Chain A
């Protein structure tokens, strides 16, 4: 009996190698991911003199004045509002556009659904190179360049195909019983959509809202192309100008960086599972 259990234990030990090397490698990768961000936090708390003496290590005498200075010099009172408008406008629009389209495909037996799905997949992967140049001059003609609305419309168009695909696969998986019951009670298609489907499918909407919010907040390319007016720039493009102006003032640029990433990182940490599931569903390179 005793012999057997020893043999068994030894056998198991032989088959289950130690996990310590796994944790060593995984920790090294975590260090690679997080150390640069830690340096960023350190530097945001250093005076210029201390950055000169100690550019990478933890601050010896932390100061906080970089944050109010960066806030004022970086014009964050304006750019954060711009980014918030862009992000909220994008999220609301994408949810409406993708919600209606996904509902039509998943529930209203849209004729030609297969073709639409193929088109959406192609559209969500289309390179901006294909449509950028005429779009810019079209927006110029329509006086939509240098407007937040014009940029939001572009975000609607580029984020909604993917959001529609994601939401459709979510809606298709929902049971239809409640909707049929509402129809029998005389509800119109619009009422079925707003009163029954929306309340049941909010996790799907939350996912596409998070994905498009992240996309809009961090978006750089269309923002830099379509908005030149400083008063209308979002945080991403205004930071680029700020950084080239204060490139030697690491404390200041680090504090500005933290102001930009803080809302996103906090939201991510709160809702990380949904973020990760939503973003990895499409695997779009960002």
Chain B
């Protein structure tokens, strides 16, 4: 259970507690202490139950009904789930989630490893680069989206600017309007705000790799690439695995950039399961069906985490 936590959230070992041997476990003072401790938890528990846990359990229930969002819900058993499994739109959307996952498992992780490795080998201007890479991450998604919609504009964007200096291939290309280009382009925009964050995750991990390992590798005549493969990558493996796991799950659930930029269009070319679910719930008022989609996605995410934990228990060093 502890393994699912990112390393940095694990607190140091809790030792050095004050001696409390004088209190017997059943004493009223001990009971009062427990009550006080749970009283401090009350606000957290209250909002959590109200917003997350209660509605999450309700989702399980509604996924077995024909609820429209208003009024009574009639029990329909597994009908919603059967409908999902025979819904062509669902498979199309899920396929886009898979493509999205492939993109985010390769491009930002490669950029993150490259940036972090280079940053870990320099000292001068390191702080400047760290800040520069991180700035897009703090800018609001709506602003990032608008910014790239301008830059990639078919008539006035970077394509026509390149055509002006003799590179005509991108001129007039409608990146967000073309059915084949829309999904990779939205992924590109999302990645622009995301990769710098990955750099800093990897950099933090790389900075804790033992410097002497690099020295030893150099003594053995290892070049930069071999140092990266044999020292850096093994040294940051826990962070790398964590980023991979998180990427898979968040790609399964991606919503924001797609909803903001294309809303699933053109002609469903960027529809993912989350945008499909949103439309089922709030446009078509198929709340029961949307709930089943939500359960399905959460189930898949949970399955991936369990698979990861299973492999770790099996002795895979991840």
Report A's interface with B, CB cutoff 8 A.
Answer: 15, 17, 19, 22-23, 25-26, 29-30, 32-34, 36-37, 39-40, 43, 51-52, 55-56, 96-98, 100-101, 103-104, 106, 108-111, 114, 116-118, 121-123, 125-138, 153-154, 156-158, 160-161, 164-166, 168-170, 172-173, 176, 180, 189, 214, 217-218, 220-221, 224-225, 235-237, 239-240, 243, 247, 250, 253-254, 257, 260-261, 264-265, 268-269, 272, 275-276, 279-286
Assess the A281–B253 pair: CB atoms within 8 A.
Answer: no
Give 27 pairs: A residue, B residue, CB < 8 Å, sorted on A.
Answer: A25-B114, A26-B119, A29-B114, A30-B133, A37-B136, A40-B143, A40-B147, A55-B157, A100-B43, A104-B40, A108-B36, A109-B37, A127-B301, A130-B294, A130-B295, A130-B297, A134-B59, A157-B47, A239-B142, A239-B146, A243-B142, A254-B147, A257-B147, A276-B130, A279-B137, A281-B9, A285-B247
**Residue-wise interface mask of B (239-256) relative to A, using a CB-CB cutoff of 8 A (1 in contact, 0 not):** 000110011011011011
Q: How far is the CB of A166 from chain B (nearest CB, A)?
A: 7
| Of B82-90, B177-185, B194-202, B229-237, the one with at least 4 CB within 8 A of chain A | B194-202
Assess the A283–B135 pair: CB atoms within 8 A.
Answer: no
Assess the B140–A264 pair: CB atoms within 8 A.
Answer: yes
Assess the A131–B51 pair: CB atoms within 8 A.
Answer: yes
CA distance A136 to B285 in the complex (A): 12
Nearest to A56 among chain B residues (CB) is B161
The answer to whether the Cβ of B290 comes within 8 Å of any Cβ in the partner chain is yes
Residues of B128-167 at the interface with A, using a CB-CB cut-off of 8 Å, are 128-143, 146-151, 153, 156-158, 160-161
Assess the B6–A282 pair: CB atoms within 8 A.
Answer: yes
Q: How many A-B residue pairs have CB under 8 A?
A: 304
Assess the A173–B12 pair: CB atoms within 8 A.
Answer: yes
Count of B residues near A, CB < 8 Å? Answer: 109
Please pick, from A23, A26, A56, the residue contacting B151 in the complex, using a CB distance under 8 A. Answer: A56
Assess the A121–B70 pair: CB atoms within 8 A.
Answer: no
Find chain B residues with CB under 8 A from A172 CB.
Answer: 11-12, 14
CA distance A189 to B33 in the complex (A): 10
- Most A CB atoms within 10 A — which of B36, B192, B218, B243? B36
CA distance A22 to B116 in the complex (A): 11
| Beyond known contacts A40-B143, A237-B142: 17 more, CB 8 A cutoff | A39-B150, A55-B150, A97-B43, A100-B41, A100-B44, A132-B294, A134-B62, A160-B47, A168-B11, A173-B11, A218-B140, A236-B140, A240-B142, A250-B150, A265-B135, A272-B130, A283-B201
The answer to whether the Cβ of B1 comes within 8 Å of any Cβ in the partner chain is yes
Assess the A153–B47 pair: CB atoms within 8 A.
Answer: yes
Assess the B56–A126 pair: CB atoms within 8 A.
Answer: yes
Assess the A110–B161 pair: CB atoms within 8 A.
Answer: no
Residues of B101-119 at the interface with A, using a CB-CB cut-off of 8 Å, are 111, 114-115, 118-119
